[in-house]
Structure 1
Amino acid sequence: MAFAVEFDNVSTVGLQSSPVASALAGLRANEARYLKNKYNHEFVVEEADKDTKTLDYVNSILKKERDIEFSSRPLETSMFQVDNIQMAYVFYENGLEVNVMYTINDSKKRAVGFKLSEGMEVPKELEGKFKFARQKSKLAGSIRGSFFVIKNEY
């Protein structure tokens, strides 16, 4: 079932099984606020097991670009296009968010981002491979994030 994420009323709906559900809900709400403010886009997520297309897309990029396969269970996904940017999001049970921003007509503006919910450890799949910068968020507390540039066509 699709769920429109509200950033003025943070909810853990769909994320309850996560040990950091509140922080992950804040991270998801933070993304919703960003998308609304930057692109006037309503952020809608759905259960990951009902959206294999988005999971396959994100997983194929992670595998082909950096040989990354996450062991944590994906809880929610979202894929949409705003302007000329294809965006995909996956929220994992351990508190990780992976997002893909793939500019359709500019191969220099394509990246995969990782955001860690407050209170979670760096997943073993990312340990030592990325440096994480901290940012503060009223909705999500302290977010640690990193990214890599996508080199191939998808």
Structure 2
Amino acid sequence: MPNVVDFVTVSTEGLESSPVADALAGLRANEARYFRNKYDHVFTTHPAAEVPELIEYVARVLRDERAIVIASPVLEATQFEVEGVRWTYVFHESGLSINVLYALEAGGKRAVGFKLSDGMDEPEELHAFKFARQRSKLAGTIRGSYFVVKGEY
């Protein structure tokens, strides 16, 4: 069952098992607000069990590009296309959010972004990355990093 993410009334629905559920819900709402304001797109997520192909897609990109395997289970995922860019998001129980930005046109931007929820420890798998801090009214302090995707997916 899809979940339309409300960024006005932040809900932990679907994220309750996370030890940082409130911060992760704020992070998810922050993404929803960004896509609504920038692209007029309604951000909708699905329980992980309903979209295993999206979880495998993100896992494959991480594995193939940087030999990264995330240990934390995925709670929710989504994929959509806006203005020629395919966005795939996974939200992990640990509080980690991963997105794959993939321009469908050759030569366009392609990257993987990581965002850590406020209060979560940096995952061992991501210690090689430097994280920048950003303040959000919805999510508190978000730590983020990224890398450029070289392969074709």
What is the 5 A alignment of 1:32-51?
32-51=32-51
Does 1:71 pair with 2:71?
yes
What is the 5 A alignment of 1:5-154?
5-127=5-127, 129-154=128-153
For residues 91-132 of structure 1, give each alpha carbon's deviation from its aligned partner in whole angstroms, at most 9, with x where no partner exists: 0000000001001114341000000000001001101x1000
SS of match in other structure, 2:124: coil
**Quick one: distance in 2 between partners of 1:45 and 1:138?**
21
TM-score (norm 1): 0.98
Structure 2 residue runs of 5 or longer lacking an equivalent are none
**Quick one: distance in 2 between partners of 1:20 and 1:8?**
19
Aligned residue pairs: how many?
153
**Quick one: distance in 1 between partners of 2:41 and 2:116?**
23
**Quick one: distance in 1 between partners of 2:72 and 2:125?**
10
Matched to 1:138, the amino acid is: K
Once superposed, what is the RMSD of the aligned Cα atoms? 0.7
Matched to 2:16, the amino acid is: Q
SS of match in other structure, 1:107: coil
SS of match in other structure, 2:8: coil
Alpha-carbon deviation of 1:56? 1.2
Structure 1 residue runs of 5 or longer lacking an equivalent are none
For residues 17-38 of structure 1, give each alpha carbon's deviation from its aligned partner in whole angstroms, at most 9, with x where no partner exists: 0000000000000000000011
TM-score (norm 2): 0.98
Structure 1 runs of 4+ aligned residues shifted over 3 Å read: none
Q: Percent identity?
A: 56
